[in-house]
Chains A and B, each alone.
Chain A
Amino acid sequence: MQISDRRAPRLSVWAGALALAAATAQAQTPAPNPHLARNLAATCANCHGTNGNAVGEMKSLAGTPAERTIALMTYYKTTAQPQGVTIMHQIAKGYTDDQIKLIAGYFAAQQPRK
């Protein structure tokens, strides 16, 4: 969101207007908390383990590529009753697409425990 000083002078007016618009938007919607992804992912830990490292037969999420988690969660979210799924379709429908992306990114960055 920072507009660099090195931008061409011609753009500076537009850049200023954009910065102002962004600042206004930020005043209306507070900046996302830097720990949002971590906090959201922690809502999954009760079943999928702390930082996505599950014990027992529950699926671990640590190290899972983000695209895979996003694709699965989107499928759960958009399908009324996916075949063979007991609970995740009900949970996925409670999260926004942006939240799913943050969660997926967080788990992708976690180290799977051996």
Chain B
Amino acid sequence: MQTRFNSELSRRSLLGAGMALGGLTLAGCASTASGPSIGRVVVVGGGFGGATAARYLKMWGGNIDVTLVERNPNFISCPISNLVLGGHKQMADISRGYGGLKALGVKVVQGDVTAVDAAGKKVRLAGGGELAYDRLIVSPGIDFMFEQVGGLQAAVDSGRITHSWKAGPQTVALRKQLEAMPNGGVFAMSIPKVPYRCPPGPYERACMVASYLKTAKPRSKVLVLDGNPEIQSKKALFERAFRDHYSGIIEYRANAELKEVSGLTAKLEFEDVKADVLNVIPPQRAGDLARSAGLININNRWAGVDWLTMESTAVKGVHVLGDATFSAPAMPKSGHMANQHAKVAAAAIISLLKGEAVNATPVVMNTCYSFVTASDVVHVASVHQYDAKDKTFKTVPGSGGVSAAASQLEGRYALSWADNIWNDMLNA
């Protein structure tokens, strides 16, 4: 690895020195298009934001060197992962490889970035290697503020309590706990105060777990402990689903902020709730790398960005995507939105590398589908236009909205959405 990075560095210095490179074949140059590379972009994080950015940089940038650093060998999708908890999908259904990006000429490095050297324009890898960049994209997702709930870190570390708010082993672990839960048991889940990743996700999870228990363990209960004063997304639609499909199973409690966990007991302000399976979605902030790279500059939690380029307002040359950003008004933290952020960033970075003006009128939009049964789905959609005066994205009055009612047609659309967005980001 080290050798390859060094050869890239020397190649860049040659370019910088203005030496002719025609006819030379240099190791480490993965670009397939003709002509010299317009620059090197390193993307850290291969989720909805990072993978999309890598793909679109290659597709739109032509001869551009793109390296994607991701710690996991495969992409595992958070959207649709609640269906795995319900027993309606398997892990294989929500997993995709990075082969499609490699086929497009993206260098995919499995590893961890331990440090960002913004002054030296390079990132350090856990193995000791370095990657030099002209522009860096950080798409680190979220990490958890375990310190806000007493006992939670140790309980999650021990495996007793799951968060399952990053799909993967945590999804499998919660599914196993549900399968082992006795009929008549209590599944309790805690929802943090906003903002958190995927506003409708917790309520979809309640429905999916309830759909499993309803047939497999019908005497069981789902207790939803919401730290917020009300359901945070698609409220009327979820309330209706709770009533129509899970009456006597789902019990919803507002303003039930979790303070502490002890064993499988959830300690709220005024009461203790004993569960057989306890799932805690912890309070969240921008991912660890955003913190160590000095990108977190808003509320000590999120990374501020220039919405025209997605460039950090804290560190020049570093672009931040997805859930880690301090959201524009009414902009959800969703995989769909991270994909849209990535396209704004890819277009802007290519323009910046070419010395052209960036698009001054970007648009992003969001669609979130939620399963309320194994086949019935509801959506929320929004369109966000850039407002030059306030330098942020704003939803368009009269646009967006939610489903009139849950339907199986939207269930088919939801699964098709997943296939298309996974394909859009991964070429797989």
Indicate if the CB atoms of A56 and B419 lie closer than 8 Å. yes
Please tell me which one of the listed residues A30, A39, A42, A92 contacts residue B357 in the complex, with CB atoms under 8 A apart: A30
Residues of A within 8 A of B60 (CB): 35, 38
The distance in angstroms between the C-alpha atoms of A86 and B183, with both chains bound, is: 38
**Closest B residue, CB atoms, query A96:** B385
Taking a contact as CB atoms under 8 Å apart, the answer to whether B347 and A39 are in contact is yes
Interchain CA distance A49-B421 in the complex, whole Å: 7
Q: List 5 A-B contacts (CB under 8 A).
A: A30-B357, A32-B361, A33-B351, A56-B420, A93-B398
Partner of A95, one of B59, B382, B383, B413: B383
Select the residue from A33, A42, A91 with max chain B CB neighbours within 10 A: A42
Binding site for A on B (CB under 8 A): 55-56, 59-60, 336, 339-340, 343-344, 347, 351, 357-365, 367, 379, 381-385, 395-396, 398-401, 403-404, 407, 409-410, 412-413, 415-417, 419-421, 423-424, 427
Residues of A near B56 (CB, < 8 A) are 42
Is A90's CB under 8 angstroms from B399's CB? yes
In chain A, residues 65-114, which have Cβ atoms closer than 8 Å to a Cβ of chain B? 81, 86-87, 90-95, 99
In the assembled complex, A55 has its CB within 8 A of some CB on chain B = yes
- A23 at interface, CB cutoff 8 A: no
Question: Closest Cβ of chain B: how far from A100's Cβ, in Å?
Answer: 11
* A91 and B381 form a contact (CB under 8 A): yes
CB neighbours (8 Å) of B382 from chain A are 94
Does B416 contact A58, Cβ atoms closer than 8 Å?
yes
Shortest Cβ distance from residue B77 to the other chain A in the assembled complex, whole angstroms? 13
Q: Decide yes or no: A39 and B362 within 8 Å by CB, A46-B339, A47-B420 being known contacts.
A: yes
Please indicate the chain A residues that have their CB under 8 angstroms from the CB of B424 in the complex: 45-46, 49-50
Nearest to A31 among chain B residues (CB) is: B357
Closest to A59 in B: B416
* A90 neighbours in B (Cβ, 8 Å): 381, 399-401
Cβ of B383 and Cβ of A94 under 8 Å apart? yes
